[in-house]
Amino acid sequence: MKFLADGMIGRLARWMRLIGCDVEYLNDIPDDQLLRRAASEHRTLLTCDVALYRNAAAKGVDAFLVSGRDQAEKLARVAKRFDLRLEVNTDISRCPTCGSSIRKAPKTEIKGKIPLTTFKAYNEFWICNNQGCGKVYWQGSHWRKIDEVLTRANTLLIKQE
């Protein structure tokens, strides 16, 4: 399944990419162009803009109205609607920044691309396959926060069933 996220839910797009979803994020184009793009690329439009959602429905564009107080609630609602697994699996995860695939990278490949202290402290790294992006990822101290949000989202998902 492919998604198109509007400018109001960029953070959600990053989370969805992390769990392996193909999400294109467009934050600077008019609504009519978003709708045309979603339709032509067979993507489900994700938005929290009620007017845009209604416009999509009127034009027959697949759309989902995202709601929730925080990222965990939004993730849980999207996961329930589209039957998504709320876990990070680096075999299918995408670059949160650009949405391209990522791959495990040997330490020698990422040397000089990250701070030396990080290079010394960690042994597992992933790199974005998009040459224009090339971001490097690792399970650093931020991983606890990622795990907390996904755990909460999964708990909310169970309560919705």
Rounded mean pLDDT for each run of 10 residues along the chain, 161 residues in total = 95 97 95 97 97 97 97 96 95 96 96 94 96 94 92 88 63
Residues 113, 134: Cα–Cα separation, whole Å:
9
Q: Which domain holds residue 150?
A: 1-161
The side-by-side arrangement of strands in the sheet containing 125-128 is 102-105, 125-128, 136-137
Tokens 């490949």 correspond to what residue? 109
φ, ψ dihedrals at 23, nearest 5°: -125, 120
Token pair, residue 69, equals 């107080």
Handedness of CA 131, 15, 50, 55 (dihedral sign): positive
Domains contained in the chain, number: 1
| DSSP bridge pairs for 103 | 127
pTM of this structure: 0.93
